Amino acid sequence: MFNATFSSKFSRSALALAATLGLGVPAMSAQTIGQTTVSTAAAAPAPAVTLSAPGEPLYSSSSAETEGPTTTITQASLVPAVPNFAEFMQYGGRPRGGRPRYRGANTNPDGSSKYLFYGGFGFQQPVGNTYKYFAPDWGLQFGGGRQFNAHFALPIEFDWDEANLSKSALGNQAYIYTGDSAASDNGIDANAHIWSFSIDPRYTFVGGTKDGFGAYALADVGFYHKVTNFTAPQDEEYCSLYGCGIYEVNSNFDHYTSNAPGFGAGVGVTYKFSHFSNERFYAEARYVFVDNSQRSGYTIADAIAGEPYSGSNFFPANSNRTTYFPVKFGLQF
């Protein structure tokens, strides 16, 4: 009896517990499955690569799917840009539009070069009193220095201007030396030149970094060295292994120099050949005044008058104040 009752009660309890557990397990299973489904969807990583049409995002993530930052990469962004060599040479790889990016230590903020170099060839034209004894001749010019922006530069310049004697001045000197004005009959000749070192501040008011034509103004202050040499045929002896001989050479027999400060001013025009180059053709003309100190000497008037002279300056014109127009054509870099 006891056993039957206990067995009956135990069986009912076991059935109740099994029923409770049986109902709980599907519910927990369903809840677990639902949670697993949601969790799986939330945790599932986005595909590594998603192809899309050109211009559409290839990689994308939505805020509904992930909590991290959104990254978008298009097909166009994956295509490597082809470098433009010409623009790289001109602009240092920076885009042509917008505010310029600098090309480094050799470029100013406005895109101009920090340094200016130039060289030219041309002629000089004496004016004023200088025209009475000097003749037009060729000249050279080289310069370079700091360029602070597209408008202002401060180069240092070297100039060499030939200035041979005029025909009348050479005849006068022949008369002074020999008493005969026919210089060619006496073989007397002359050569002269002026070389200088100067500082030449310049201001470019048209052009700058732009293409095509430009214009600038300049000033000039520096040291000028004026030289005149007189030559005549002279016999000289030359010796070799086979013996000695006499030959005739044109040698200096009189020499004059004059050092003085000089000043000048002028204008020039430029033309930039290409948008992708820094070279410019230039042509300039300036007026130069050299403040030589006049020295006394023996002149053609004294020679004609037969005045006695015990000095050694037979060409006082070399120490005259000098004025001339140098004109040069060349290239700027």
pLDDT digits (tens, 9 = 90+) for 132-167: 999 999 999 999 999 999 899 999 999 999 998 999
Question: Model confidence over 81-117: pLDDT tens digits?
Answer: 555 544 544 444 444 444 444 456 788 888 788 999 9
Q: How confident is the model at residue 206 (pLDDT cuts 50, 70, 90)?
A: confident
Position 72 scores a pLDDT of 52
Q: Give percent of the chain above pLDDT 90.
A: 50
Position 180 scores a pLDDT of 81
Position 292 scores a pLDDT of 96
Position 66 scores a pLDDT of 45
CA distance 195 to 159: 5
Position 61 scores a pLDDT of 44
Prediction pTM value: 0.66
Position 90 scores a pLDDT of 44
Question: Model confidence over 27-71: pLDDT tens digits?
Answer: 444 444 444 444 444 444 555 444 444 444 444 444 444 455 555
With tokens 């004894």, the residue in question is: 133
Position 313 scores a pLDDT of 96
Show the 3-state SS of the chain: CHHHHHHHHHHHHHHHHHHHHHHHHHHHHHHHHHHHHHHHHHHCCCCCCCCCCCCCEEECCCCCCCCCCCCCEEHHHHCCCCCCHHHHHHHCCCCCCCCCCCCCCCECCCCCECEEEEEEEEEEEECHHHHHCECCEEEEEEEEEEECCCCEEEEEEEEEEECCECHHHHHHHHHHHHCCCCHHHHCCEEEEEEEEEEECCEEEEECCCCCEEEEEEEEEEEEEEEEEEEEEEEEEEEEECCEEEEEEEEEEEEEEEEEEEEEEEEEEEEEECCCCCCCEEEEEEEEEEECCCCCCCCCHHHHHHCCCCCCCCCCHHHHCCEEEEEEEEEEEC
CA distances in angstroms from 136 to 131, 161, 163, listed in the order given: 9, 9, 6
Question: Model confidence over 256-273: pLDDT tens digits?
Answer: 999 999 999 999 999 988
Q: How confident is the model at residue 251 (pLDDT cuts 50, 70, 90)?
A: confident
Q: How confident is the model at residue 250 (pLDDT cuts 50, 70, 90)?
A: confident
CATH code for the part of the protein at 112-332? 2.40.160.20
Domain ranges in the chain are 39-79, 112-332
